[in-house]
Homo-oligomer: A and B are copies of this chain.
C-alpha cells in the first residue's frame, strides 16, 4: 500500500476502527471505552457517533469485523489445505482441521466467546453475527459440494460433521479441561471415526 497518495490515506472512519482495534488488543473486548477510541483516533466522541450511531454500533462494526475475519480465516485455511491434495481421504480432511493444542486457535476461540457474549445485549452486533454466520454456512455447504467429487474411491464421508458438529463446536471449553481433557490424538481419532459414514 502506497501511503503517499491521497487514496490510501485512512479516512476518519478507518482511523476510528484502527483505534478501536488497538484498544481491544490492549484492554480486551469487553471493556471498550468510546472515549479511549476517540482519543486514539484523534477525533471527538461526537464524530464516532456520527459514523456508528452509538457504542453498540461501533462494537457491531469492530467485533463483527473480528468475527468475520476469524470464521473466514478458518474457512480459507481449510480450503487451501484441501485444494493442495487430490484425491482426498478422510485423513486429509482431519489433517486440515486445527488441533486443541494449537495456541492460535485457542486464542481465537477465546476472542469468539467474547464476541458472542457482547452480542447478547447488543442487537446490532447480533444481527451482524447472524449475517456473517449464515453467509459462512452457505460457503461451507458449497465447499462440501466442491469437495465431494475430489474424494478418493471408497471414502464415504458424513458431511454433517461440518454442518452439525463443527459448526457449533467451541474448543474454548477445552481450555478449562487442562490435562484432564482429550488429547490431540484422541480428537483426531474421534474426527476420523465420525467422518466415516457407516
Counting chain A residues whose Cβ lies within 8 A of the other chain, the interface size class is: 35 or more
Minimal beta-carbon separation of A153 from chain B (angstroms): 19
Can you list, as one digit per residue, whether each of A157-179 has a CB less than 8 Å from chain B (1) or not (0)?
A: 01010011101111111101110
Could you say which of B120, B137, B187 contacts A113, with CB atoms under 8 Å apart? B120
Cβ of A86 under 8 Å from chain B:
no
Copies of this chain in the oligomer:
2
Whether B158 lies near A193 (C-beta < 8 A) is: yes
Residues of chain A in range 76-115 having any CB-CB distance to chain B below 8 Å: 110, 113-114
List, in ascending order, chain B residues with CB within 8 A of A187's CB.
164
Task: Give the Cβ gap from A152 to chain B, nearest Cβ, in Å.
Answer: 19
Cross-chain contact B116 with A120 (CB below 8 angstroms): no
Which A residues fall within an 8 A CB radius of B?
28-30, 110, 113-114, 116-118, 120-121, 126, 129-130, 132-134, 137-138, 158, 160, 163-165, 167-174, 176-178, 180-182, 186-187, 190, 193-194, 196, 198
